[in-house]
A = this chain, B = another copy of it.
Amino acid sequence: MGTISRLCLLPLVVSVSLLMTSSVQGGKVLVFPVDGSHWVNMNLLIQTLHDRGHEITVVRTATSWYIKENAPHYHSITITLPEAIVIEDQDFFVTFLMRMIAIQRKGASLIGFLNFYWEMLSTLSKIHQQASLLAVEMFENKTLMQSLRDTHFDVVLLDPGLPAGVVVAHELKLPTIFNVRWVTSGEGHFVVAPSPTSYVPTSGYAASDKMTFVQRVLNLVHYVLNTCIDRFIVCPHYDKLVERYFGSAVNFYHLLQGADIWLMRVDFVLEFPRPTMPNIAYIGGFQCKPSKPLSSELEEFVQSSGEHGFILMSLGTLVKGLPLEITSEIAAAFAQIPQKVIWRHVGERPNNLGNNTLLVKWMPQNDLLGHPKIKAFVAHGGNNGIYESIYHGVPMICIPLLFDQFENVLRLEVRGAAKRVEVTKITQQNFLEAIQEVLHNPSYRTSIKRLSALHRDKPMHPLDTAVYWTEFLMRNKGASHLRTESYKMHWYAYYSVDVICFLFAVLLMLTAVVVGSLRFLCLRLCRRRKPKQA
């Protein structure tokens, strides 16, 4: 076998460097972020763009949770929405989660579940109504719009989870770049790339890319449901907005599909391979970076774990605490292992906490994940945490709670890099078993180390990819050569239904002509013979 060794070979690097040196300075970027964990991502990107000399302006609402009015790396435009605001409370998702857990754990009648589902949809509708109102408030503020025009932005960067910025970008005639995983109510790819439901799992349905017949049926049903939610619950808010300001000639969904570049927060070490488009750049794990040394207190705690090492637990930005009945089970399990545990927890403190467990309100997650003594990561399966864990090669025990977390965790499980525990069924016993398995079965570590190696093996760091394409739009005023306009076709033309019907009709006609001619010939032949016989 050829001796393969990792060596520093210069030529490839040099030519890349030469290409990368022509850059853009002093670009102006208008940003429409989404609050919550999405902001963590977006903030990192705009910080990097700011560090490269670009001027960033962030549009926020007066009641934003995380997006501050003043920051050293951006200006902000604060929009005050009318009273009818739904989600002014960042504990909204905690309440939501608690109710969902209660429904699943204690059982609920079909009516109870449908009621909850209906409430969820109406909340979704109100969130998008609020987002569309943001655009209305901007459009109605003529001074603001004029000042935006006068600023001559180069590009609009937005998270299309709440896509009001798309409409503003259209008004300002600016190229748009998406920092995207979700669009309106579904996964981003479904808006822009062919997505055969036979092997591409739909958002909200946790299946792999190798589905049984039943799974394929359910996947298609989910797809139809998602499309209905999108078309009848989410998009009407933006349709109204577009109709009001641009008339009926402009279609909101086309504006959405017409974004120049899609920076997709996806990496195929986690996502199943699926069709994509030339204007999609993949930046999954763009927040990942090497770890820094810990504070002396944390380092001391971690070192005290000796050969056993330590486990990290965190359930993300949105959800600050689980009910005590669940955390007590978790605490009891932790108390039985020789490893030390660092647990980010801001809810009620379980009173059965072991001596090995340190509760913290905040922790340097990336630095802990990169520490040589870490043995496993207990997490909810949010996108950010998963990519950090992949980057550092730490096997996971996952407790998915909300949204895409179930799908993310399934992907890790299929790759043998995580063990899942259902939050609604968690007990001291099964949680302990899950930890023991991940700690002592080496396949989890081997699998995640392989994912880590593949994830890091890229021509360019994903954050650099994100910056590159943002600056590409500044330099070239768009990227129309990478973007298909096929989405403007009628569905029957796109799917060639009209062409197939036409060809079928032609075939039928030809058959009729041939059959008719043959019949005519037969009849004539028969007639000629008859007189002879007679």
Contacts and interface: CB of A to CB of B under 8 A. Distances in A.
Interface of A: 1-9, 11-13, 15-17, 19-28, 51-53, 55, 152-154, 193-194, 196-199, 209-210, 213, 216-217, 220-221, 268-269, 272-279, 282, 453-454, 456-461, 463-465, 467-468, 472, 474-476, 481-486, 489, 493-496, 498-500, 502-503
A55 B2 CA distance: 9
A214 to B, nearest CB: 10
A198 B17 contact: no
A278 B276 contact: yes
A499 B220 CA distance: 8
A483 B51 CA distance: 36
Contact of A196 (B282, B483, B486): B486
A213 B499 contact: yes
Contacts of A472: 457
B19 A5 contact: no
B17 A17 contact: yes
A19 B273 contact: no
A94 to B, nearest CB: 35
A483 B273 contact: yes
B3 A484 contact: no
Contacts of A483: 273
Contacts of A496: 196-198, 216, 220
Q: 3 shortest A-B CB distances, which residue pairs?
A: A1-B152, A199-B486, A2-B28
B198 A486 contact: yes
Given A2-B152, A459-B464, 13 more contacts: A3-B26, A4-B24, A6-B24, A15-B463, A16-B20, A194-B275, A198-B493, A198-B494, A210-B485, A220-B500, A221-B503, A273-B481, A460-B460
Contacts of A489: 198-199
Contact of A16 (B27, B273, B460): B460
A484 B5 contact: no
B273 A268 contact: no
A475 B457 contact: yes
B26 A5 contact: yes
B217 A503 contact: yes
A70 to B, nearest CB: 22
Contacts of A282: 278
Nearest to A415: B481
B494 A196 contact: yes
A313 to B, nearest CB: 28
Contacts of A24: 4-7
Contacts of A52: 9, 11-12
Nearest to A155: B2
A467 B459 CA distance: 11
B481 A213 contact: no
Contacts of A467: 12
B13 A26 contact: no
Contacts of A457: 472, 475-476
A272 B483 CA distance: 9
Contacts of A199: 484, 486, 489, 494
